[in-house]
Amino acid sequence: MRRLVFIAFFMVTIFGVNHTDAARWLFCAKCLPNAGLRADWVIDAINFPGTMSEAVRFPDPDQCDVGADTPEDAWMGAYSSWGMELVRAGHWVETITRYGRLTYGDCSHDQDLSFYDVLVIPEPQMPYPQHEIDAILNFVYDGGSLFIIGNHCGSDRNFSGTDSCMVFAAMDTAMHFGIEFETYDGCVGPNPPPECSACSWNEIRNTNFVDDPDDPFLYGPFGDVEAIKFNAATNIIIHPENNPSVRVHAWRNHATSQGLIDITLASAYFGQGRVAAIGDSAPADDGTGDPDCFLHNSWDYPTSNNDHLFMNISHWLSHRDGEPIPTRTPCPNHTPWPACQGTATPGAPTSTPGPTNTPLNVPFIDIHTNQLVYRSGDTFVLTEDISNTGPTRILNYFLALEVAGMFFFSPSWTENIDWINMYVFEGYHHSKEIFSFVWPDAGSIMGMRFWAVFTDPGTGQMVGDFDMIEFSAV
């Protein structure tokens, strides 16, 4: 009986941990999300020339060195907490600076959108030219994810005559995604009409949520959301007549009908891609960043759960809810995907009783636990190293747990045979923790194993060699 209880515990502990390869996140700063004195929507920046910091492509300290104890203000941006939590969840984060350009399918551009999985556009202050709008739409349609973050109407930070609502309107998000940020003529300017007050509001505890216990934004793996904190937001209006997939997750507190207007949080599919939208840039503000800016800590505000919300949304955008990231191959032979090589691997590597003679020019897998024998109270850590010295290819990745003669397959962690579809680039390498937990009082269990193998999707034959690690409990 204790063994069956342990198996149940183990599956509950790791259930929902999707082993899909980490997502590559690109935060857009070319639209000046840090303009003015009340916005600093970047993950890291250097220099503070007057009223606007200078966002940087790679945060410093290096994200490969970010650990559980790294303070969020080590990165200088109001979105630094969000960025660090993405890194801790296994993702890679970058910024395209104000001097960058958005392309899709330009293989000579090392920040081409085809090299990323998620694009974040936080409160843009400058309209995108049509060719960049086309790049964004094609990226999403082909399977990329997009997070569009608006703000209250009239929030023209750089006095350009344009606010975020107008920028997204120019992208025609209402037509493509079924998502519109509410605004009115004249809201940008010295004398806004009275109706503009409807698209600029505060709710310290927004709690008018969709009645769905399985909602991925509100009840996701990073924690339940009991309330959302908004500071000067606009409403979202949805248009299911344009995009039937559009979905509402939360409304204004006064919206008793839960209809198509007065929405605070929405999502949609576009082609193979995913889109999330929120009507305020402040909910992810951690209160630290450019010292010249007036910032507010909404990220972990004590009466709301904005941190849970944004990480649950990030989980959904990263396709970590069971669906693999769609393969986009406009530039199949090149990628700037980095490798945190030479960095510490969580836990002490152990010897692996699986094969050691891996052929050259094929993908290589190494899975290991931090101990070979566990006792109640020990910390269990499973880590993996994947590298590919061979050509770029698409592979099926099998990861399975064997306990008491039963096999449980990732990503669903059920007995149904399952796998992850991966696009593995030439020169690819990563090392990351899959999951960890405190070992329960499970008694003696011998011969538990994790197995990992790549196969060819067309032939089903094994590619390279498999790996296996065996461990026990006493």
pLDDT digits (tens, 9 = 90+) for 279-288: 999 999 998 8
CB within 8 A of 188, min separation 6: which ones?
153, 154, 156, 161, 162, 163, 166
Phi then psi for 459, rounded to 5 degrees?
-100, -20
Do the strands 373-374 and 219-220 form a parallel or antiparallel pair, or are they unpaired?
Answer: unpaired
Model confidence at 144, pLDDT cuts 50, 70, 90, reads: very high
CA–CA distance, 153 with 11 (Å, rounded to integer): 47
Structure tokens at 4: 């069956």
User: Residue 321 in contact with residue 307, Cβ under 8 Å?
Assistant: no
246-260 average pLDDT score: 95
User: Residue 312 in contact with residue 225, Cβ under 8 Å?
Assistant: yes
Q: Which helix (H) or strand (E) holds 120?
A: strand 118-122
Q: What is the pLDDT of residue 336?
A: 41
Look at residue 314 and tell me whether its pLDDT is greater than 90. Answer: yes
CA–CA distance, 332 with 392 (Å, rounded to integer): 7
325 secondary structure, DSSP code: P
Instruction: Show the beta-strand stretches assigned E in 207-349.
Output: 208-209, 219-220, 223-224, 228-233, 236-238, 247-251, 263-270, 273-278
Q: What is the pLDDT of residue 210?
A: 97
20 secondary structure, DSSP code: P
Q: What is the pLDDT of residue 442?
A: 78
Do the strands 273-278 and 145-149 form a parallel or antiparallel pair, or are they unpaired?
Answer: parallel
Look at residue 56 and tell me whether its pLDDT is greater than 60. Answer: yes
User: Which residue did the predictor score with more confidence, 223 or 413?
Assistant: 223
CA–CA distance, 9 with 390 (Å, rounded to integer): 39
pLDDT digits (tens, 9 = 90+) for 339-393: 444 332 222 222 333 333 334 567 888 888 888 888 889 999 998 888 887 787 7
Q: Supply the pTM of this predicted model.
A: 0.67
Domains by residue range for the chain, with CATH: 2-15+335-473 (2.60.40.3880), 24-317 (3.40.50.880)
CA–CA distance, 199 with 193 (Å, rounded to integer): 11
CA–CA distance, 401 with 399 (Å, rounded to integer): 7
Average pLDDT score, the chain: 82
Of the candidate ranges 16-20, 184-188, 226-230, the one whose mean pLDDT is the lowest: 16-20
Look at residue 5 and tell me whether its pLDDT is greater than 50. Answer: no
CA–CA distance, 57 with 45 (Å, rounded to integer): 9
Cα 464 to chain center, whole Å? Answer: 30
Q: Which residue has the tokens 């990628």?
A: 335
CA–CA distance, 115 with 105 (Å, rounded to integer): 9
Greatest Cα-to-Cα distance within the chain, rounded to the nearest angstrom = 74
Q: Which of 130-139, 160-169, 365-374, 415-424 tops mean pLDDT?
A: 130-139
Structure tokens at 128: 């995108």
pLDDT digits (tens, 9 = 90+) for 192-214: 888 888 888 999 999 999 999 99
Look at residue 96 and tell me whether its pLDDT is greater than 90. Answer: yes
Helix axes 306-317, 80-88, angle to 10 degrees: 50
Q: What is the pLDDT of residue 196?
A: 85
User: Residue 272 in contact with residue 142, Cβ under 8 Å?
Assistant: yes
Q: Calculate the dihedral angle through the C-alpha atoms of 204, 208, 213, 217, rounding to the nearest 10 degrees.
A: -50
Cα 251 to chain center, whole Å? Answer: 23
Look at residue 189 and tell me whether its pLDDT is greater than 50. Answer: yes
Q: What is the pLDDT of residue 212?
A: 96
User: Residue 417 in contact with residue 453, Cβ under 8 Å?
Assistant: no
How is 348-365 classified by DSSP, letter by letter? ------S---PPTTSEEE
From the number of C-beta atoms within 10 Å of its C-beta (0-12, 13-18, 19+), residue 199 rates as buried
124-137 average pLDDT score: 93
Q: Which of 54-58, 353-357, 417-421, 466-470 tops mean pLDDT?
A: 54-58
Percentage of the residues of the chain whose pLDDT score is greater than 90: 39
- How crowded is residue 28: how many other Cβ atoms within 10 Å of its Cβ? 25
Of the candidate ranges 1-15, 24-38, 238-252, the one whose mean pLDDT is the lowest: 1-15
Of the candidate ranges 9-23, 26-40, 203-217, the one whose mean pLDDT is the lowest: 9-23
CA angle 87, 92, 145 (to 5 degrees): 110
Phi then psi for 161, rounded to 5 degrees?
85, 10
User: Which residue did the predictor score with more confidence, 1 or 381?
Assistant: 381
Q: Which of 18-22, 146-150, 416-420 tops mean pLDDT?
A: 146-150
Q: What is the pLDDT of residue 324?
A: 55
